[in-house]
Structure 1
Amino acid sequence: MRTAALSPPAPLLRANLPPWLVVAIACLASFMVVMDGSIVNVALPAMQRELQLSAQAQQWVIDAYLLSFGGCMLLAARAGDLYGRRPVLQAGLALFTFASLAGGLAGDAGLLLAARAAQGLGAAVLATSSMTLVMAATHHDRQARASALSWWAALNSAGFALGVVIGGLLTDGAGWRWVMFVNVPIGLLLIVGIACSLRPPPTQATRPVLDLPGALLSTLGSAALVYGITQSAAQGWGSPLVLGALGLSLAAFLLLLSVERRSQQPLVRLSIFELPGLAAGNLLMLCLGGLLAASIFLISNTLQQAAGYSARATGLAMLPMGVALAAVRLVFTRSIGAGASRRLPLWGALVAAAGLAWLARMPPQLVFWLDVLGPTLAAGAGLGMVILAATHAVSAGVPVHDAGMASGLANTARQLGGALGVAGIATVLHTVVRAQPASAGPQAALLAGSQAAFLAASGLALLCGLISLRLAPRG
């Protein structure tokens, strides 16, 4: 359904404060969210030992966060549009901070998974609001927006890089609970910073209405889709449980389209996809989210459980990949912002696919520089190129009043892709492990499963390269 153009939003910043302050707040909030995702990957084996987590429960420590994150993203973005960035962002920060504290205090798997789901809801608010703040603060200058978004994306990668290192150091030193507690001081600092720098929203004559049916349907569809994929490894693709979950997901998404066409205040105004490159950009974000989350999960899991690395050694081993992700984004910022290097995401996808295929030949006895450093640098550099292009594809040409909606769509695609990617790669991994002969030891079976999963991830990287060819050229 088409709606009339909205008036320009009220100023975000308090008087006499520079625009870069909004960008800095947005980057720090996004940094914390991304760091939380990677920091927990490294701590999974320690969590499993202390809380006696099953293999499925370990996967759901990641998926509960990603699913809540992706499923609630559109609702969080729309709430920010309707009720104002400051109150929604403060509420999200409070929830994320409290859930991090609760997760660190959890005494069993149920409490930990509940805390992770609550973290995901708070993170949905932070991710959509942070990208929206960057877009709104720089809407007057295309090159300034490109530069700010590249810094935002680069600090996302820095959050990943530092997350794996900090996660390893904290897990080996203070214990896995501190990978949750570390978010608390950052969250409190951001709550104070937002209160001091952002304006309160203007008083509205009529109370805005959220599209709750749309939010419920999008969350239900996402949850059923991920659940069906995660259960396929244990139940088989033809089981009634898996087919029922996938059928429920399809029905929920089809009903969502019908609801959004008729809604007076839709969660997603479908006409936004008429913007050039937005549909292809979001599809690329979906695949990239799956590829990045699955790669982090798979590399961390393989190094610790198949190669015998400690949590600290795993974090340090993955640091170069995160540095490559961040560095590539900054190196190519100007060429992307100016509309050049249209084939950059294709070349990046090929480099990432080569790096992941290289990891698929990982031997039982690792040589770090050959079997870990080389391929992870290649994968990180390649993914950085593709993510940079996708970020600009979903933001270039978006009017300021649609910034929240565009941010919600992009982040929903990325996070839902992350949940699906971890679920799909874990399915490949566990299926191959179970197919190994009884004479193979557990480490050899896990290594064989990891090699097959790395090959599947390499194929997904090639798919990203094909999708990137559909991105609209930027002049």
Structure 2
Amino acid sequence: MRTAALPAPAPLLRPDLPLWLVIAMACLASFMVVMDGSIVNVALPAMQRDLQLSHEAQQWVIDAYLLSFGGCMLLAARAGDLYGRRPVLLAGLFLFTLASLAGGLASGATLLLAARAVQGIGAAVLATSSMTLVMAATHHDKQARASALSLWAALNSAGFALGVVIGGLLTEGAGWRWVMFVNVPVGLLLMAGIASSLLAPPAQTARPRLDAPGAVASMLGSALLVYGITQSTALGWNSPVVLGALALALGLFLLFIAIERRSASPLVRLSIFQLPGLAAGNLLMLGLGALLAASIYLISTSLQQVAGYGARETGLAMLPMGLMLAAVRLLFTKAMGAGTARHLPLWGALLAAAGLAWLGLLPARAAFVQDVLGPTLLVGSGLGMLILAATHVVTSGVPVQDAGLASGLANTARQLGGALGMATLATLAAAVAHAQPAGIDAQGALLAGSHAAFFAAAGLSLLCGLVSLRLGPPA
């Protein structure tokens, strides 16, 4: 395999700029992207009523975002390595902010879906570049990198649950359009901050060329994989459409590997997987993405469809879980960075599995304190430990010039895991619900499906715990 080495990294930050300011901007950019993934879910019924969306169009409000987000992740990460953090991050912010404005102004399904697709492209840039920015800014200090990445990851995870809260409040108070408009002032603020804080990349007479064939194969393969997974919920896993999309995705990924092995400047340098724990860390990221996205989806739908909670009540009920995700990561950051928390991911997997199994016993008339608070706190604390460990493994020991690649791989694994987890467990819940005897009412059938999905998620958490044993001692 012939590879062209990346040039040594140029200074990234303006002189005398406080490091905390850069980390705060990176965390806010990532939080905005993650929150957008859940905030729109709450507003979907209101969108459907206002714009007269068909059931298919309503599903594509989510899928259009996921397809472009998952498909562009590796390309966005590599672009930052080649063309500089500042211009790529500003371009991503511009796309995301403009698409949010257009989506909020949409008068019909076509404009809304187009805006969501462009939002996904911008989100792919922000998800990879924000993590890369933290890694690049703290490359000189191992403990500072661990602390900054822990804060980044904590807010990243909390954004899922907080998005449900904010989405419910905005939809019921100001209308669904504000779940899109809320991104505009934040995006403009971040663009001003990034433009004034980061140095422009130096002019280069020669730089490695972008691996266009690899980029096309990666984008199409990832998009087809996400498409096949998301369509499985409605069409079933044995659908020709789903099987065809997954088969094409597999073929494109095999082609992608062949291209990368021969490319002089690959999109993904395959030798990076020789770094200790990187392969196992990304496998764990895949499982964690499935657990986090599926847990939030299952808890939200169970509370609203079975327990009778409204959008606002559901968001508030899930708030402790989001806060626990953030708190646990901050609490154990120092121990993880010092290498004294080797078994933390295993304990996290056991706690999350216990919480998910507890939710598998959720009654139809679920009371918050007795039936929801305890298990969601266990799930939040357990997943917080797991994701802290995985984030540490996939970023520690990575050279600064490979920060974008490492970030792209980790975010791609988590994004694809989220799509796979949601589709698989939603399909399982629907199948179990449909298989209930004729005498069971609709609420009872939905509850049985939720129970089965929660127990399956508990099993996946235990599997993640076994994978974590392959991580070895923290670097």
Superposition TM-score tier, normalisation by shorter sequence: over 0.9
Alignment match, 1:366: 366
Deviates more, 1:384-393 or 1:229-238: 229-238
Alignment match, 2:435: 435
The one-letter code matched in structure 2 to 1:244 is G
Alignment match, 1:326: 326
- Once the two structures are superposed, what CA deviation does each residue of 1:68-98 show, in whole Å capped at 9, x if it has no partner? 2222111001111111111111110011011
What secondary structure, in the 3-state scheme, does the structure 2 residue paired with 1:440 have? coil
Alignment match, 2:357: 357
The one-letter code matched in structure 2 to 1:199 is L
Alignment match, 1:470: 470
- Once the two structures are superposed, what CA deviation does each residue of 1:176-203 show, in whole Å capped at 9, x if it has no partner? 2211111110000001111111111111
Deviates more, 1:209-218 or 1:352-361: 209-218
Unaligned runs of 5+ in 1: none
Alignment match, 1:290: 290
Unaligned runs of 5+ in 2: none
Alignment of 1:14-413 (within 5 A): 14-53=14-53, 57-206=57-206, 208-413=208-413
Kindly state the Cα deviation for residue 394 of structure 1 after the two structures are TM-superposed.
0.2
Alignment match, 1:8: 8
The 1:356/1:114 distance shift into structure 2, 3 A limit, reads: farther
The 1:61/1:466 distance shift into structure 2, 3 A limit, reads: farther
The one-letter code matched in structure 1 to 2:273 is F
Deviates more, 1:354-363 or 1:101-110: 101-110
In 2, are the aligned partners of 1:324 and 1:384 still within 8 Å (CA)?
A: yes
Deviates more, 1:161-170 or 1:172-181: 161-170
The one-letter code matched in structure 2 to 1:461 is S
Give, in whole Å, the separation in 2 of the partners of 1:233 and 1:94: 33
Give, in whole Å, the separation in 1 of the partners of 2:96 and 2:271: 32
Alignment match, 1:415: 415
Deviates more, 1:443-452 or 1:234-243: 234-243
- Once the two structures are superposed, what CA deviation does each residue of 1:338-381 show, in whole Å capped at 9, x if it has no partner? 11111110110111111111111111111111221111111011
- Once the two structures are superposed, what CA deviation does each residue of 1:303-334 show, in whole Å capped at 9, x if it has no partner? 12222211111110010000000000000001
Kindly state the Cα deviation for residue 462 of structure 1 after the two structures are TM-superposed.
1.4
Taking only the aligned residue pairs, the percentage that are identical comes to: 77
Kindly state the Cα deviation for residue 418 of structure 1 after the two structures are TM-superposed.
1.3
In 2, are the aligned partners of 1:42 and 1:300 still within 8 Å (CA)?
A: no
Alignment match, 1:460: 460
Give, in whole Å, the separation in 1 of the partners of 2:351 and 2:55: 31
Runs of 4+ in 1 over 6 A off after TM superposition: none
In 2, are the aligned partners of 1:86 and 1:201 still within 8 Å (CA)?
A: yes
Give, in whole Å, the separation in 2 of the partners of 1:73 and 1:86: 17
The one-letter code matched in structure 2 to 1:276 is P
- Once the two structures are superposed, what CA deviation does each residue of 1:216-237 show, in whole Å capped at 9, x if it has no partner? 2122222222333334444443
Kindly state the Cα deviation for residue 131 of structure 1 after the two structures are TM-superposed.
0.8
In 1, are the aligned partners of 2:260 and 2:267 still within 8 Å (CA)?
A: yes
Kindly state the Cα deviation for residue 448 of structure 1 after the two structures are TM-superposed.
2.1
The 1:128/1:217 distance shift into structure 2, 3 A limit, reads: same
In 2, are the aligned partners of 1:70 and 1:413 still within 8 Å (CA)?
A: no
Give, in whole Å, the separation in 2 of the partners of 1:437 and 1:54: 30
What secondary structure, in the 3-state scheme, does the structure 2 residue paired with 1:394 have? helix
- Once the two structures are superposed, what CA deviation does each residue of 1:1-27 show, in whole Å capped at 9, x if it has no partner? 353654431111122212222212111
What secondary structure, in the 3-state scheme, does the structure 1 residue paired with 2:395 have? coil
The one-letter code matched in structure 2 to 1:395 is T
Give, in whole Å, the separation in 2 of the partners of 1:388 and 1:170: 30
What secondary structure, in the 3-state scheme, does the structure 1 residue paired with 2:474 have? coil
The one-letter code matched in structure 1 to 2:335 is S
Kindly state the Cα deviation for residue 433 of structure 1 after the two structures are TM-superposed.
2.8
Matched, 1:426 2:426: yes
- Once the two structures are superposed, what CA deviation does each residue of 1:376-421 show, in whole Å capped at 9, x if it has no partner? 1110110000000000000010011111111111111111111222
Give, in whole Å, the separation in 2 of the partners of 1:184 and 1:21: 20
Give, in whole Å, the separation in 2 of the partners of 1:361 and 1:45: 28
Give, in whole Å, the separation in 1 of the partners of 2:452 and 2:59: 18
Give, in whole Å, the separation in 2 of the partners of 1:302 and 1:138: 41
Deviates more, 1:404-413 or 1:199-208: 199-208
In 2, are the aligned partners of 1:325 and 1:381 still within 8 Å (CA)?
A: yes
Give, in whole Å, the separation in 2 of the partners of 1:210 and 1:440: 58
The 1:125/1:56 distance shift into structure 2, 3 A limit, reads: same
In 2, are the aligned partners of 1:284 and 1:390 still within 8 Å (CA)?
A: yes
Give, in whole Å, the separation in 1 of the partners of 2:438 and 2:227: 29
In 2, are the aligned partners of 1:67 and 1:419 still within 8 Å (CA)?
A: no
The 1:268/1:41 distance shift into structure 2, 3 A limit, reads: same
Give, in whole Å, the separation in 1 of the partners of 2:434 and 2:163: 31
Deviates more, 1:231-240 or 1:339-348: 231-240
In 2, are the aligned partners of 1:81 and 1:404 still within 8 Å (CA)?
A: yes
Kindly state the Cα deviation for residue 260 of structure 1 after the two structures are TM-superposed.
0.7
Deviates more, 1:258-267 or 1:41-50: 41-50
Alignment match, 2:444: 444
Give, in whole Å, the separation in 2 of the partners of 1:23 and 1:132: 11
The one-letter code matched in structure 1 to 2:262 is R
> Aligned-pair RMSD on alpha carbons?
1.9
TM-score by length of 2: 0.95
The 1:232/1:13 distance shift into structure 2, 3 A limit, reads: closer
Give, in whole Å, the separation in 2 of the partners of 1:408 and 1:227: 20
The one-letter code matched in structure 2 to 1:401 is Q
The 1:29/1:91 distance shift into structure 2, 3 A limit, reads: same
Deviates more, 1:11-20 or 1:265-274: 11-20
In 2, are the aligned partners of 1:83 and 1:208 still within 8 Å (CA)?
A: no
Give the length in aligned residue pairs: 475
